[in-house]
């Protein structure tokens, strides 16, 4: 048996993500890692993960939290996979921090597409004879936790790694080796890579996802024609700018195309494009982020199989989007907070900012100073702004759900209920009941 994973197709111009069943690959990877206790991940030819990490050691999880070290890890993964492709068999080696891994390259004809990496262990003997692909970055050993976590790494015999490598080759070839390139033409999401946007300073194809960081654009799915499209580049730019409001607006437009009438429902899998973009953006920033978003998606797909109406789709997608912003937006010190960052927090949950005191506390200002500053920036008072945001959510709930008005008022922090009715009529011109009736009649017509 060849010591490689081989796909029965030419891979010219295509990405590994479009050639394999990622869900099946993830399943195999998770089960194998759980059974053997070895850390495992699949990467593309550049070392970028295409699956979530499985059974990663505590040391590797700790080190990959640092973006500089994580980049070195990806480079090491890329080198290991390429070496397996060159040698035509699984390749056992030491990574840059001294752990032992093996790589199994994934090939389509003569094209190297990526690799399955497995290990994150130490050998009982003869480890020093293994090639070390990269040198350890300066300062890693000085981390206080490094020595403690390094001592916790599993120690195994080389025979175990060699047996595991043979098993990986067999399992992966059985599951993935007969995949056909006709798959991307069939309905369903398959990952592809965005066209790069030129860097404004030097025209290099880069895309900054977070402040101070530039990296290749994330992955988006290629989907059949006829469905509404969501531009992942816009989502990425708004993430970098901490502009949740713009992303919520893009989400709303996307759902308007998917569900043009409030009475329509869609199957949960029809939200796959949005879910894949969320996972791709999160994974682009870190394996642990991608895994967290993936787990949310998997949990939802497991629990929800019935068709979803517009409100259910919106509520679920907003939860994913807000979680993505929370994961990728670093916590700000008080001195770095601004009115704009406050607006971003209000978008996440306007019921958390019901008083001037709460907004003033966020910016560490007196209530009078905060009120003046907010009005100067937004042209309205803080309370009026937050009330308007809550009423926008109320309008969505009135249109797309049958929830009693009392429950809607309570959920959005309007107490007592007659205050909700007065505020709604003042801003919208009709009472909540009249608003719901108007839209119900429009739908029927």
Task: Provide DSSP, 339-394.
Answer: HHHHHHHHHH-GGG--SHHHHHHHHT--HHHHHHHHHHHHSS-HHHHHHHHHHHHH
Residue 119, domain extent: 5-178
Cis peptide before 419 (omega within 30 of 0): no
Is 386 a residue whose pLDDT tops 90?
yes
Mean pLDDT of the chain: 78
Q: What is the dihedral of CA 196, 320, 410, 344, to 10 degrees?
A: -40
Mean pLDDT of 355-379: 94
Do residue 225 and residue 362 come from a single domain?
no
Q: How many domains does the chain have?
A: 3
Place of tokens 């505020």: 423
- Same domain as 318, residue 374: no
Q: In terms of domains, do 20 and 150 share one? A: yes
Q: Is residue 183 part of a domain?
A: no
79 and 144 share a domain? Answer: yes
Is the pLDDT assigned to residue 183 strictly greater than 60? Answer: no
Q: Would you say residue 187 lies in a domain?
A: no
Same domain, 313 and 357: no
Does the bond joining 416 to the residue before it have cis omega, within 30 degrees of 0?
Answer: yes
- In degrees, rounded to 5, the angle at the alpha carbon of residue 270 between the alpha carbons of residues 264 and 275 is 125
Residue 335 pLDDT > 80:
yes
Backbone torsion region of residue 413, taken as left when φ is above 0, otherwise alpha when ψ lies between -120 and 50, otherwise beta:
left
Length of the chain counted residue by residue: 445
Q: Regarding predicted confidence, which is higher, 250 or 196?
A: 250
| Residue 213 DSSP SS3 | strand
If you average pLDDT over residues 330-346, what whole number do you get?
88
Alpha helices in 16-120 (DSSP H): 22-36, 58-63, 67-87
CA distances from 443 to 363, 400, 424 (A): 44, 11, 21
> Which of the 8 DSSP states describes residue 331?
P
Q: Which stretches does DSSP call E strand in 187-303?
A: 190-193, 207-210, 213-215, 219-222
Q: Are residues 244 and 304 in the same domain?
A: yes
Q: Which residue has the tokens 């990959």?
A: 64
**Are the CB atoms for 239 and 250 separated by under 8 Å?**
no
Cα–Cα dist 220/222, whole Å: 7
**Claim to verify: residue 34 and residue 161 sit in the same structural domain:** yes
Taking the C-alpha atoms of residue 51 and residue 294, their distance in angstroms, rounded to an integer, is 10
Looking at the structure, tell me whether residues 349 and 318 fall in a common domain: no
In a domain, 184, yes or no: no
Examine the domain organization and report whether 294 and 354 are in the same domain: no
Is residue 58 located within the same domain as residue 160? yes
Final residue of a structural domain among 139, 158, 178: 178
Given this model, what pLDDT does residue 206 score?
Answer: 33
DSSP 8-class letter at 119: E
**Mean pLDDT, to the nearest integer, of 409-432?**
90
The answer on 18 and 143 residing in a single domain is yes
Q: Long-range contacts of range 301-306, CB-CB < 8 Å, 24 or more positions apart?
A: 301/268, 301/269, 304/268, 305/268
Cα separations (Å) of 246 from 208, 263, 312? 17, 26, 20
Confidence of residue 435 (pLDDT cuts 50, 70, 90): very high
Give the pLDDT score at 135: 74
Residue 138 forms part of a structural domain? yes
The pTM of the whole model exceeds 0.75: no
Domain-located, residue 189: no
Reduce the DSSP state of residue 440 to 3 states and report it. helix
Please compute the mean of the pLDDT values over residues 134-151 and round it to a whole number: 74
Residue 69 belongs to some domain of the structure = yes
Residues 346 and 302 both lie in one domain: no
pLDDT confidence of residue 442: 64
Boundary-marking domain end, from 271, 299, 328: 328
Give 106's strand partners.
Answer: 5, 114
The answer to the question of residue 195 being in a domain is no
pLDDT at 377 over 90: yes
pLDDT at res. 205: 34
Is 70 exceeded by the pLDDT of residue 221?
no
Which of 287, 310, 328 is a domain's end point? 328
Alpha helices in 286-309 (DSSP H): 287-303
Three-state DSSP class for residue 11: coil
Domain at 398, CATH number = 1.10.10.60
Question: How many whole angstroms separate alpha carbon 133 and alpha carbon 391?
Answer: 58
CA 249 to chain centroid, in Å, comes to 19
pLDDT at 177: 53
Task: Extract the tokens encoding 15.
Answer: 């990405």
In a domain, 34, yes or no: yes
**Rounded distance between C-alpha atoms, residue 14 and residue 319, angstroms:** 32
Q: Which secondary structure element, helix H or strand E, spans residue 106, and what is its range?
A: strand 100-108
Mean pLDDT of 50-77: 86
Residue 177, exposed/middle/buried by CB under 10 A (0-12, 13-18, 19+)?
middle
């Amino acid at each position: 048996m060849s010591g490689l994973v081989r796909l029965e197709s030419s891979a010219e111009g295509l990405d590994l993500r479009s050639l394999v069943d990622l869900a099946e690959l993830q399943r195999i990877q998770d089960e194998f890692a759980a059974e053997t206790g070895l850390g495992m991940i699949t990467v593309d030819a550049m070392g970028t993960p295409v699956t979530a990490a499985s059974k990663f050691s505590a040391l590797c999880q700790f080190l990959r939290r640092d973006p500089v070290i994580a980049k070195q890890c990806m480079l090491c993964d890329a080198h290991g996979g390429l070496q397996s492709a060159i040698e035509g068999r699984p390749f056992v080696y030491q990574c840059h921090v001294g752990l032992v891994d093996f790589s199994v390259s994934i090939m389509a004809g003569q094209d190297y597409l990526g690799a399955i990496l497995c290990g994150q262990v130490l050998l009982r003997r003869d480890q020093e004879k293994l090639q070390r692909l990269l040198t350890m970055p300066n300062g890693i050993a000085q981390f206080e936790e490094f020595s403690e976590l390094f001592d916790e790494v599993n120690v195994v015999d080389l025979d175990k790694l060699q047996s595991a490598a043979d098993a990986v080759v067999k399992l992966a070839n059985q599951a993935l080796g007969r995949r056909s390139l006709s798959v991307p033409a069939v309905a369903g999401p398959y990952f592809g890579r965005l066209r790069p946007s030129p860097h404004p300073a030097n025209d290099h194809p880069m895309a900054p996802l977070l402040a101070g960081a530039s990296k290749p654009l994330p992955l988006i799915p290629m989907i059949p024609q006829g469905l509404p499209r969501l531009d992942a580049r816009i989502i990425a730019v708004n993430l970098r700018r901490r502009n949740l409001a713009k992303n919520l607006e893009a989400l709303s437009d996307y759902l308007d195309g998917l569900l043009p009438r409030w009475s329509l429902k869609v199957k949960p899998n029809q939200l796959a494009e949005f879910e894949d973009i969320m996972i791709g953006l999160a994974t682009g920033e870190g394996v642990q982020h991608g895994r967290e978003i993936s787990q949310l998606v998997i949990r939802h797909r497991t629990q929800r199989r019935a068709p979803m109406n517009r409100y259910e789709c919106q509520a679920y997608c907003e939860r994913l989007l807000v979680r993505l912003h929370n994961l990728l937006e670093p916590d700000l010190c008080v001195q770095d907070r601004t009115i704009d960052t406050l607006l971003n927090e209000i978008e996440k949950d306007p019921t958390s900012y019901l008083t001037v005191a709460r907004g003033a506390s966020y910016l560490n200002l007196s209530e009078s100073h905060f009120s003046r500053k907010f009005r100067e920036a937004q042209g309205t008072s803080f309370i009026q702004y937050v009330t308007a945001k809550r009423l926008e959510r109320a309008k969505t709930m009135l249109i797309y759900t049958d929830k009693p008005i009392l429950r809607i008022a309570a959920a959005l922090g309007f107490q007592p209920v007659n205050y909700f009715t007065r505020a709604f009529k003042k801003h919208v011109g009709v009472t909540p009941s009249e608003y719901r009736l108007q839209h119900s009649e429009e739908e029927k017509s």
